[in-house]
Chain A
């Protein structure tokens, strides 16, 4: 991504859209909706990891929720002094992605010896094992009552407290940084290696791609994203309990990425906002919320299999049925969304 192709009209519109989002949202939204948006944006960071694993590398992993848990419990232990020492929250936050990139690398070394669906199953196993420990192992995870009394994020002398708007700006910064990282990876050697694995792992091997190491690196980047977001999440909500990290919750990050468009960075953010925002619409239908949610997932998958980012492909396809003359150009993102 050089400066020259940064200045395309498309990107300029994109940057304006992002700035507009960051500026307008705090003006029109306060209170409750702000908590929804903040958590949605945190979840978008976790879904970035899904994008790297599933979108770029074609590997379906449920492990994100477990790494989110690792990040959250790490902060809870470091900042409350329950282990006998306290690390400043900001330092702990910065440590989280580094520590858990390492942890994810080690776990990845083990799990990614497996391929395809076997790998997916091993991540389900990881989620189950980790959940059981989160729920039962008191010394590190607080046991049944979880860990409360977690301090909020403090940078220097500035404390984010319960200022939801300040949190929003902070999270936006990380969402944007994360998005840039994802876009860089997509265009890097790593991204191309992952794409080659996704399209045909055997062919990638014969072309000299170290598929194993590539996947392990992707797994550890995804783990770092999830742990970092988990760390922010726990300082935002100031409570952590094991119920958050069970298998049911593991699926929602994949759903977010799929709904947004698993290879569209902006799409993932929108997907996360939609997944978190949709239930608020159904709040009136108390008792039926889960039913609507399930039906929406099916409908979205049936009618928008490539997510929101794929809407255009669907529309363009329909359009082309009338106008046989096909246009060239403007198709670069269409190629992104096809596996």
Chain B
């Protein structure tokens, strides 16, 4: 394999990995906050892409006006999701009950998107354009890299770093985590759980929806975007459950494995990712970066 082919594939895999990592990080935040595996994560991602498309293509908002409106919409979607899917079920005796409800939510989001915006896929303009309106290409030493991929990596990494700092380093983030882990005690000292959980859902919704917006110029906006969540699941497990750093590295790995397994193995591409997943699970059940802690579920 030539160096050029390798670097093209590598950047491509890395960009996909960042997208999966955004989904995966959202998954972990929810698992930590409310202990729930969200099977509608991919559909929230898809919905984010649709909302951005509506703001840009239907309302013709300029870029800087679009950002705040989009953020507010993402938060609203996150809160609606929380109050319909999580809140009524927070005391359910089976974890599976909530999981199934999120599966139902995935179907509803997928169908709503088609109902509201039609079945026709929507094309989004790339952030960096050539004068003719095509996707701008960054050329490094003869290796063509689409700018959008570079931007995905930059924006995704920045957003994830911000959220990581918020949750792991800042007092307010620690407070939120503590409140989620022991809501009874948190209520006793005057932190309303509902606020901390709502904040988590809003942050997750923003993270995931921005991911959807970032990939839309490359993958178009359509109702099958949500299938990417399976790769994010694989990333979460490979990295180590409940561990943000691990999930991100795991997702990057999944992105790379996927891209490199298209070489002479393309029809069985999915197999390679999931075989790696099974092998990792067997050799290191706690994931590559997980601590040996008992699983709650």
Contacts and interface: CB of A to CB of B under 8 A. Distances in A.
Interface in A288-303: 288, 290-291, 293-298, 301-302
B270 A255 contact: no
B107 A129 contact: no
B111 A294 contact: yes
A306 interface: yes
Given A202-B294, A297-B101, A129 B270 contact: yes
The A interface is mostly helix, strand or loop, or mixed, namely helix
Given A125-B234, A290-B111, A339 B103 contact: no
A305 B97 contact: yes
A302 B108 contact: no
Given A54-B96, A254-B100, A114 B108 contact: no
A98 interface: no
Contact of B295 (A118, A126, A255, A295): A118
B120 interface: no
Contacts of B97: 258, 301, 305
B270 A298 contact: no
B37 A117 contact: yes
Nearest to B111: A291
A21 interface: no
B12 to A, nearest CB: 21
B160 interface: no
B104, B271, B275: residue with the most chain A Cβ atoms closer than 10 Å: B104
B295 A136 contact: no
B100 A301 contact: yes
Contact of B96 (A110, A258, A293): A258
A305 B89 contact: yes
B271 A132 contact: yes
Contacts of A124: 230, 233, 274
A251 interface: yes
B278 A122 contact: yes
A124 B233 CA distance: 9
B230 to A, nearest CB: 7
Interface string A309-334: 00000000000000000000000000
A54, A122, A255, A306: residue with the most chain B Cβ atoms closer than 10 Å: A122
Contacts of A82: none
Contacts of B103: 251, 255, 297
A302 B101 contact: yes
The B interface is mostly helix, strand or loop, or mixed, namely helix
Contacts of B14: none
A116 interface: yes
Nearest to B267: A136
Contact of A301 (B98, B115, B275, B282): B98
Interface in B160-182: none
A116 B295 CA distance: 6
A270 B38 CA distance: 27
A139 to B, nearest CB: 14
A54 B89 CA distance: 18
Contacts of B106: 294
B100 A258 contact: yes
B93 interface: yes
B268 A132 contact: yes
A212 interface: no
B20 to A, nearest CB: 14
A262 interface: yes
B188 interface: no
B94 to A, nearest CB: 5
Contact of A293 (B98, B107, B112): B107
B46 interface: no
Given A118-B295, A254-B100, A298 B84 contact: yes
Contacts of A174: none
A301 B89 CA distance: 8
A121 B241 CA distance: 11
B125 interface: no
Given A124-B233, A305-B94, A291 B295 contact: no
B277 A122 contact: yes
A110, A128, A254: residue with the most chain B Cβ atoms closer than 10 Å: A128
Contact of A290 (B84, B110, B281, B294): B110
A121 B281 contact: yes
A184 interface: no
B218 interface: no
Contact of B100 (A118, A133, A255, A338): A255
A60 interface: yes
A129 B285 CA distance: 19
A339 B88 contact: no
A117 B107 CA distance: 22
Given A124-B230, A305-B93, 12 more contacts: A113-B281, A128-B274, A132-B268, A132-B270, A132-B271, A254-B100, A258-B94, A291-B112, A295-B104, A296-B104, A297-B103, A301-B97
Top 4 closest A-B pairs, CB basis?
A297-B104, A294-B107, A116-B295, A294-B108
13 contacts: A114-B282, A117-B241, A118-B241, A118-B295, A121-B281, A124-B233, A129-B270, A133-B271, A136-B268, A288-B111, A297-B103, A301-B97, A306-B94
